[in-house]
Amino acid sequence: MYLSHISEEQKVIDVDLISAHPVLDYSHGAKVSFSFDGKSMEGFEGEPIAMALHANGVRVYRSTPEMRRPRGFFCAIGKCSSCFMVVDGVPNVRTCVTPLKKNMKVETQEGRGTIKLDGVA
């Protein structure tokens, strides 16, 4: 819904993955599957989660707390808070600097993110 002004063609445009990141050391490991909002996707183990999402055509990672505006990839160095997502149940994960792992559950973050409260049934 956020991307209604962007054509389907733009959304699925093929991207060339970079092999050298300006500040991070990482490698493209084995091809693994992970999920995004319940949909199964594939990426390379060890690459930033955001990179795998980008390669799969995912551009919106979260919505802002008050105005509910879409946010996605921006600073790419773990600084700007634009790419916060819920990963394996943990909110506010900086997906642009967090390595992808096999079977990760990646979800769009709505608002500020809710932490797991111990002791609450």
Partner 1 sequence: MSEKRTADAIIVGGGVHGAAAAYYLAKAGVKDVVLFEKEYLSSGGSGRSAAGLRHHFGTEVNCRLSQYNIECFPTLEQDLGGELKLEFTQWGYLWVAYSQESLTQLEKNVTLQKSLGIPSEMLTTAEMKKRWPYFNVDGMLGGAFCGKDGHINPQTLVMAYGRAAEKLGARVKTYTPVEKLLASDNKIKGVVVNGEEWSAPRVLLTAGPWSTPLAKTVGLDIPVTPERHNLLVTEPIEPFECPMTLCLDDGAYFKQVPNGSFFFGRDDQDEPRVLESGNSAKFLEGVTESVLKRMPALKGVRVVHQWSGPYDVTPDHQAVIDWTPIEGLWLNCGWSGHGLQFGPSGGRLAKEMFFGEKTFVDIHNFRLARFAENDLFMEPAFI
What is the smallest separation between the CB atom of 76 and partner 1, expressed in angstroms? 18
Q: Does 113 bind partner 1 (CB under 8 A)?
A: yes
Per CB under 8 A, which of residues 61..80 are in contact with partner 1?
Answer: 65
What single DSSP character describes residue 16?
P
Residue 89 interacting with partner 1 (CB under 8 A): no
Decide: is 116 part of the binding site for partner 1 (CB under 8 A). Answer: yes
Q: Taking contact as CB under 8 A, which single stretch among the options 3-11, 28-36, 43-51, 87-95 is the one that binds partner 1? A: 87-95
- CB contact burial 46-77 (16+ within 10 A = b; e otherwise): bbbbbbbbbbbebbebbbeeeeeeebbbeebe
- Report how far apart, in Å, the C-alpha atoms of 92 and of each of 11, 63, 97, 101 are: 25, 12, 12, 17
Residue among 8, 16, 25, 118 that touches partner 1 (CB under 8 A) = 118
